[in-house]
Structure 1
Amino acid sequence: MVTTRLDLDRIRAAREVIDPIFLDTPLYQPDALGRELGCAVSVKLETANPVRSFKGRGTELVASELAAQGRTAAVCASAGNLGQALAWSGRRRGIDVTVVASRGAPAAKLERIRALGAELELVDGDFEMARARAVDIADERGVRRVEDSLDIETCEGAATIGLELASDASSVDTVLIALGGGAMATGVGYVLKTLSPGVEVICVQPHGAPAMTRSWHERRVVTTDSYDTIADGVAGRYPIPEVLDDLLQVADDAVLVHEASIVTGMRLLLERAGLVVEPSAALGVAAILEDRDRFAGRHVATIVCGSNVDLDAYHRWVGA
């Protein structure tokens, strides 16, 4: 039995709370991509929603809870996607949302946060500096701070992806999951290990932001002084202990990939599947590229977790 902070009954109930616009995202096999990679590849398209990432599943739970409690404000630190999702979910429920982000976050993500009506505060430094500022704002204003991956709603919202995979992907051997703070990896991993224990769960992170992967392998929190990756959505330096504990229960492996493989993965998803994705969403394809023998002949599912990308940067990376 898998023992984590997550609960299968709550995850099933979450589907009744989350706006259906975020649920039942497409799962399909781009044959051309599979031929290129030497294995059957099913793509779970978590970008087919108003915020173009999986984060809306979790923020729907958070915002619904806040509204039920009569609370009218929340703050979060975000690399971009969580902020957009919380702004979208909060706006629909009359919740004032403040998002703290690094000045170095992708401009497209920051613009969309503003467009969704959130107050945006920018800080110098990286995501961890934004996280520290969000703590201060929550204390100063007495409002709820939404902590991605630590707050169980963010994990159990993401876990509804696992329910869909477990019901739709009976022939899948392996699921590749982008690993950042860990909400998606722990949520999806928990459901799969509970309902489809034979499916291998592999988490993927860039070499330039390896803290959670190193922590998983050493079975203790390992921090890093910095990170350097184009995959901003999974970049962090300080793993959350409670999330690591969950991840140790549900992940079969955690691997690191190089930046060049991420770029090639983005290009292949465009050329072979017709998908424009942000770097974090290409981590699964990058993992196959770096270890083709491991996945040869298997049926692999990869979660395309976000497509919020600056077009100028995208053109530089993929040459499109």
Structure 2
Amino acid sequence: MLDELNIKIRDAREVLKNIVHHTPLQHSRTLSDLTKGEIYLKLENLQKTGAFKVRGAYYKMQKLARSGVKSVVAASSGNHAQGVAFSAASLNMKATIVMPRHTPFYKVNATKSYGAEVVLHGDTYDDAYQKALEIAQQTNAEFVHPFNDLDIMAGQGTIGVEIFEDLSDVEVVLVPVGGGGLISGIATALKKLKPDAKVIGVQPKGAPATYLSFQEKRIVETHEVSSIADGVIVKKPGDLTLKIMEEVVDDMVLVDDREIARAMFLLLERVKTVAEPAGALGVAAVISGAVDVSGKKTVPVVSGGNVDPTLLIRVLGQVLYVEGRQVRIQGILPDKPGQLKKVIDAVAELGLNIVEIQHERLNPLLTPGMALVTLGLEVPSKEYADILVLRLKQMGLDFRVV
């Protein structure tokens, strides 16, 4: 199977060279300093449609188009949907994408913008998948699987070829893993070009089906899955992808949602690039220490950047608090004119910035005539919050960090 996949990867390289971007491989001094390695980011978030999925989708669908297929069906709540929709528009094919009913509007609209018909059905990807199979059978259309297909893997494998072309002495490649299509393609390509390079998969702890399957060398299905990295949430890997991973993938690790959020934050603040949660998995693995890359030329694949803006805002806000860049202080004040001003004046004297004020009078637990005040503050470090609380105590105002 590996020989066949390698032949397909070489063919995909030729087919895709004028269709998709050869995305940048960007060195990051910040991440290199943090990890004591040499970190180069493969920025597939700058790919057409904002993610790697278009590679496999286009390679698969151009084959179908050449064989006379006019319409395709896919199930996806994210990047595969847009990859299929974009490819269908480029190849003059009809695409029907089935998405779960609660898919965020921005994903639905992005898919429609490429000309695809979107059908909203069911509460989960599995519901959408079953519906897509029904539609494909009813309309005599071809179903395009998101990962368990050699042509899909071959398209994704062109990323591995590009990594080798840009960094021939690469030592470690970290790949986000959902169903296994991306890592199967990348690992197959790299092991052919540089057999001693290590390819390591990264999954979220809340959706570890492929990790468990890889460790146990059998398909393990997880029924309860939850992670902010929705792009890699699957209940089980493909049978084809698991066979290939067992042959060419060196290891697989897990990271939690806090580590993913911190990776997204660092990529945005220090690298100036936007990654969706799934796209930040590789970076999360190196900054958390899940994979030791000290002294090694390492390439985390930033697989996509299609993040819900509201989720991005929440993630950034939470990380700012965790990192001590924002704090909240809370205290009880007499509900009289001028009392809140005393607190604000103390904040101003320290040069801190107020980002939020909550002033609560109606809490039944409060003594009548008192108000509960909570302030959200931007601070250079957590120590400034302690200094502020101490200064307020000296003024007779009892506040604490919450």
Superposition TM-score tier, normalisation by shorter sequence: over 0.9
Q: Indicate the residue corresponding to 2:48 in structure 1.
A: 50
Whole-angstrom CA distance in 2 between matches of 1:91 and 1:203: 32
In the alignment, which of 177, 180, 187 is matched to residue 182 of structure 1?
180
Kept in 2, the 8 Å contact 1:103–1:124? The answer is yes
**Residues in 1 aligned to 2:181 and 2:130: alpha-carbon distance in whole angstroms:** 19
Give the aligned partner of residue 18 of structure 2: 20
Matched, 1:116 2:103: no
Distance 2:290 2:303 in 1: 22
Within 1, Cα distance between the matches of 2:284 and 2:191?
23
Deviations 1:92-147, CA, capped at 9 Å, x for gaps: 22111011112333432221001111111112222122111111111111110001
Query: Aligned with 2:14: secondary structure?
Result: coil
**Cα distance, 1:167 vs structure 2:** 2.0
Matched position secondary structure for 2:132: helix
1:75 aligns to what? 73
Counterpart Cα distance in 2 of 1:33 and 1:248: 29
Counterpart of 2:315? 317
Question: What is the identity percentage for the equivalent residue pairs of Structure 1 and Structure 2?
Answer: 36
CA deviation digits over 1:158-203, x for unaligned, max 9? 0011111122222321100000011110000011111111111100
- Does the 8 A contact of 1:37 with 1:292 survive in 2? no
Determine helix, strand or coil for the equivalent of 2:259.
Answer: helix
Does residue 150 (structure 1) correspond to residue 148 (structure 2)? The answer is: yes
Q: Distance in 1 between matches of 2:18 and 2:29?
A: 28
Q: Which amino acid aligns with 2:285?
A: A
Distance across 2 between alignment mates of 1:172 and 1:181: 25
Secondary structure at 1:59 match in 2: helix
Match of 2:226 in 1: 228
Give the 3 Å change call, closer, same or farther, for CA 242–21 of structure 1 in structure 2: closer
Cα distance, 1:161–1:168 mapped onto 2, change above 3 Å: same
Contact 1:21 1:49 in 2 (8 A): no
Tell me if structure 1 keeps the 8 A contact 2:160–2:187: yes
| Cα 1:313–1:64 shift into 2, 3 Å | same
Shift of the 100–264 alpha-carbon distance from structure 1 to 2, 3 Å rule, reads same
Q: What SS does the corresponding residue of 1:17 show, helix, strand or coil?
A: helix
The change in CA–CA distance for 1:191 and 1:45 in structure 2 (over 3 A counts) is same
Deviation at 1:6, TM superposition (A): 4.3
In structure 2, C-alpha distance between the alignment counterparts of 1:50 and 1:166, rounded to whole Å? 21
- Partner SS state of residue 306, structure 1: coil
Return the alpha-carbon distance in structure 1 between the equivalents of residues 169 and 16 of structure 2: 27
The answer to which structure, 1 or 2, has the higher relative contact order (CA under 8 A, 6+ apart) is 1
- The root-mean-square deviation of aligned C-alpha atoms, in Å, is 1.6
If the length of structure 1 is used for normalisation, what is the TM-score? 0.95
The answer for unaligned runs of 5 or more in structure 2 is 321-402
Secondary structure of 2:175 counterpart: strand
The residue correspondences of 1:26-105 to structure 2 (distance < 5 A) are 26-105=24-103
Amino acid at match of 1:196: K
Q: Does 1:291 align with 2:285?
A: no
SS of the residue 2:73 aligns to = strand
Give the whole-Å Cα distance in 2 for the aligned partners of 1:118 and 1:140: 18
Q: Work out the CA distance in 1 between the residues paired with 2:3 and 2:101.
A: 33
Alignment of 1:216-295 (within 5 A): 216-291=214-289, 294-295=292-293
Q: Secondary structure at the match of 1:205?
A: strand
How far, CA to CA, are the matches of 1:40 and 1:34 in structure 2?
5
1:176–1:201 Cα contact (<8 Å) kept: yes
| Structure 1 stretch displaced more, 113-122 or 165-174 | 165-174
| Counterparts of 1:287 and 1:299, CA distance in 2 | 15
Query: Who is 1:214 aligned against?
Result: 212
Question: How far is the alpha carbon of 1:36 from its aligned partner?
Answer: 2.7
Q: Across the two proteins, how many residue pairs are aligned to each other?
A: 318
Decide which moves more: 188-197 or 4-13. 4-13
Q: For 2:299, what is the secondary structure of its paired residue?
A: strand
* C-alpha distance in 2 between matches for 1:107 and 1:4: 39
Give the whole-Å Cα distance in 2 for the aligned partners of 1:5 and 1:75: 29
Instruction: Report SS of the residue matched to 2:16.
Output: coil
Deviates most, 65-74 or 219-228:
65-74
TM-score (norm 2): 0.76
Amino acid at match of 1:78: S
Measure the CA separation in 2 of the matches of 1:117 and 1:51. Answer: 13
Question: How far apart in 2 are the matches of 1:243 and 1:128?
Answer: 18
What do residues 52-109 of structure 1 show as CA deviations (whole Å, max 9, x unaligned)?
1011111111221122122110001113101101111101221110111123334322
Counterpart in 1 of 2:8? 10
Separation (CA, whole Å) in 1 of partners of 2:287 and 2:235 = 26
